[in-house]
């Protein structure tokens, strides 16, 4: 499938706004989302029927030239077949915009492409399965508009979508409207979606002129920063510099933990009410109104917790990308950390999910490109927590319960997260000279230095600054030059 080539000097950015549709507009929005889902399911059923038919014909040793003609999996091929069948199987198709059906066909084409490339090994990541049918109760309501009247109104409080018309927004759209009026942004598409809280949103995919650091934002005097992530309430992010100074310590909002008591009450209430499944008869049943009301309150509570978490992460990552020239983070296996080596630890898994450790690197990946910074991604096996920031010695038997790092070689006693942030900052310091030579052309995400899995001693750089917490550090200055292996011997 062809990809869109971004012109030089431009970048892609999404603008998301909450909507306030009227009671007359809400059925129209649901109808467009249902039309997209219908086109997806209808063409998927046709493709599966043709594939099964061809498989059965091959079992009867019919030649390939005489088999049932296959259905093209590309978007133009699916659209051509849909236009031939819509008058018979969807006589109400004219009630919605053609973009609604095109949205479902485009999603099906992408799903089939992902499945095909995953089977041949050309697609990175987890294996993609064959597309499944979308049910009205579980599938997310969304539809995408690519042509027609798609614009932001000059009053900053309304948008226009094809066939839907003029919809009021819950928040001001002045940030996008100003860019469109100035000619520095062009709207490519609009995606209409409904979240679990029954709130409608519109996301504009725009092509904007290359973003730069705002004029009122000044770079930090320390160009390099290392960011260590954690799950403690007082240390979601610990930011330190190569000289050993701790710049900031961002507290974790813990929104899911704060809402845990309320969710427990609501979920127990929903369990006592009649839900959509009967465990005795092992069959579906019509959910009661009270169960639907309680479920909606659960969704709103979880949605509010996600909004609080997202707000903190966006503000923090934007500040980092604007303030520092080089930022070093770890490439964490968030999914593997939650599994806890096969043993499901409920408290630890909930804390890891509440912290959203993987989102920090994802947000920094594109924000560093916006503001001309460089993101250095440390290897997953880089021993940032096990390496001493003072002498470079390594402590292989460090556990999660050890919140203070005590070096066995130089006697350094330092906070665990702060020690890891210093080591990450020194890893990113090697990129600073290249940034000065290549400028903004070197901005973006670059891989950091790899590390072997063995826990053998390795130097992390000379200590110097306010990270020293014991008076013996000055006396041990001469012994820092010796390797820890020699001291142990």
Quick one: DSSP state of residue 230?
A: E
Residue 417 annotated to the active site: yes
- Positions of E strands within 46-164: 142-145, 151-152, 158-161
State the DSSP code for 71: P
pLDDT at residue 234 in the model: 63
Q: Is 60 exposed, middle or buried (0-12, 13-18, 19+ CB in 10 A)?
A: exposed
Query: What is the per-residue pLDDT for 264?
Result: 94
Instruction: Give just the sign of the alpha carbon dihedral 75, 81, 83, 88.
Output: negative
Dist. CA 452–CA 457, nearest whole Å: 11
CB atoms within 10 A of CB 166: 12
The whole-angstrom separation of Cα 389 and Cα 461 is 7
Residues making up the chain, counted from first to last: 489
Instruction: Give pTM, 2 decimals.
Output: 0.78
pLDDT at 346: 67
**CA distance linking residue 41 with residue 48, whole number of Å:** 10
Out of 243, 377, 417, 467, which one is annotated catalytic? Answer: 417
Handedness of CA 111, 116, 119, 123 (dihedral sign): negative
What is the pLDDT, as a whole number, of residue 313? 92
Per-residue pLDDT of the chain (489 residues; tens, 9 = 90+): 556 788 888 888 999 999 999 999 999 999 999 999 999 999 999 999 999 999 999 999 899 889 999 999 999 999 999 999 999 999 999 999 999 999 999 999 999 999 999 998 888 888 899 999 999 878 899 999 999 899 999 999 999 999 999 999 999 999 999 999 999 999 999 999 998 888 999 999 999 987 788 877 888 888 899 998 877 656 788 999 998 888 888 888 889 889 999 999 999 999 999 888 888 888 888 889 999 999 999 999 998 999 999 999 999 999 999 999 999 998 887 777 766 544 556 677 777 778 888 889 999 999 998 888 899 998 888 888 888 888 888 888 887 778 888 888 888 888 888 888 999 998 888 766 655 555 444 456 666 554 444 444 434 444 333 433 333 333 334 333 333 333 332
What is the structure's pLDDT at 157?
95
Query: pLDDT value at position 152?
Result: 95
Please identify which of the residues 99, 106, 228, 429 carries the catalytic annotation.
Answer: 228
106 as an active site residue: the answer is: no
Q: What are the DSSP E strand ranges found in 381-450?
A: 404-406, 413-415, 444-447
Task: Decide the pairing of beta strands 404-406 and 246-250.
Answer: unpaired
Distance CA 174, CA 152 (A): 9
Could you tell me the CA-to-CA distances from 365 to 190, 218, 361, 387 in Å, in that order?
23, 21, 6, 26
Is 175 in the active site? no
Compute the distance between CA of residue 411 and CA of residue 390 in angstroms, rounded to an integer.
9
pLDDT at 266: 95
Q: What is the pLDDT of residue 445?
A: 63
Annotated catalytic residue within 330, 377, 429, 467: 330
Q: Which two tokens stand for residue 432?
A: 């600073």
Helix (H, G, I), strand (E, B) or coil at 196: coil
Give pLDDT, residue 442.
47
CA 147 remoteness from chain centre: 27
Q: Which tens digit of pLDDT belongs to each residue from 452-471?
A: 444 444 344 443 334 333 33
């Amino acid at each position: 499938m062809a990809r869109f080539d971004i012109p030089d000097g431009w970048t892609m950015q999404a603008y998301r706004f909450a909507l306030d549709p009227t009671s007359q507009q809400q059925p129209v929005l649901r109808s467009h989302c249902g039309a997209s889902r219908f086109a997806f399911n209808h063409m998927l059923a046709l493709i599966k029927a043709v594939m099964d038919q061809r498989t059965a014909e091959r079992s009867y040793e019919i030649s390939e030239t005489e088999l049932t003609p296959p259905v093209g999996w590309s978007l133009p091929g699916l659209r051509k077949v849909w236009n031939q069948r819509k008058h018979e199987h969807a006589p109400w198709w004219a009630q919605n915009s053609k973009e609604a059906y095109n949205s479902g066909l485009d999603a099906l084409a992408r799903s089939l492409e992902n499945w095909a490339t995953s089977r041949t090994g050309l697609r990175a990541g987890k294996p993609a399965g064959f597309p499944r049918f979308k049910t009205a109760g579980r599938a997310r309501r969304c539809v995408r508009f690519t042509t027609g009247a798609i614009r932001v109104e000059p009053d900053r409080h309304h948008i226009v979508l094809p066939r839907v018309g003029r919809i009021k927004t819950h928040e001001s759209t002045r940030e996008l409207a100003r860019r469109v009026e100035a000619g520095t942004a062009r709207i490519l598409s609009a995606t209409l979606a409904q979240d679990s809280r029954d709130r409608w949103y519109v996301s504009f995919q725009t092509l904007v002129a290359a973003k730069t650091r705002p004029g009122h934002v000044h770079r930090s005097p320390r160009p390099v920063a290392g960011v260590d992530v954690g799950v403690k309430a007082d240390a979601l992010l610990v930011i330190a510099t190569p000289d050993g100074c701790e710049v900031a310590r961002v507290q974790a909002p813990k929104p899911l933990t704060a809402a845990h008591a309320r969710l427990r009450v609501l979920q127990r209430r929903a369990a006592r009410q009649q839900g959509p499944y009967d465990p005795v008869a092992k069959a579906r049943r019509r959910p009661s109104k009270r169960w639907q009301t309680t479920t909606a309150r659960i969704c709103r509570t979880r949605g509010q917790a996600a909004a609080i978490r997202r707000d903190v992460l966006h503000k923090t990552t934007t500040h980092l990308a604007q303030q520092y020239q080089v930022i070093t983070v770890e490439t964490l296996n968030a999914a593997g950390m939650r599994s806890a080596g096969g043993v499901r630890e409920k408290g630890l898994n909930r804390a890891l999910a509440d912290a959203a450790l993987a989102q920090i690197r994802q947000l920094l990946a594109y924000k560093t490109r916006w503001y001309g910074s460089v993101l250095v991604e440390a290897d997953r096996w880089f021993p940032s927590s096990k390496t001493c920031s003072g002498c470079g010695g390594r402590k292989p038997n460090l556990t999660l319960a050890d919140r203070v790092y005590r070096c066995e070689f130089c006697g350094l006693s330092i906070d665990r997260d702060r020690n890891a942030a210093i080591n990450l900052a020194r890893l990113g310091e090697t990129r600073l000279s290249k940034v000065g030579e290549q400028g903004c052309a070197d901005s973006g995400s670059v891989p950091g230095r790899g590390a072997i899995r063995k826990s053998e001693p390795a130097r992390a750089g000379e200590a110097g600054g306010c990270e020293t917490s014991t008076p013996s550090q000055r006396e041990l200055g001469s012994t820092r030059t010796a390797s820890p292996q020699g001291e142990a011997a």
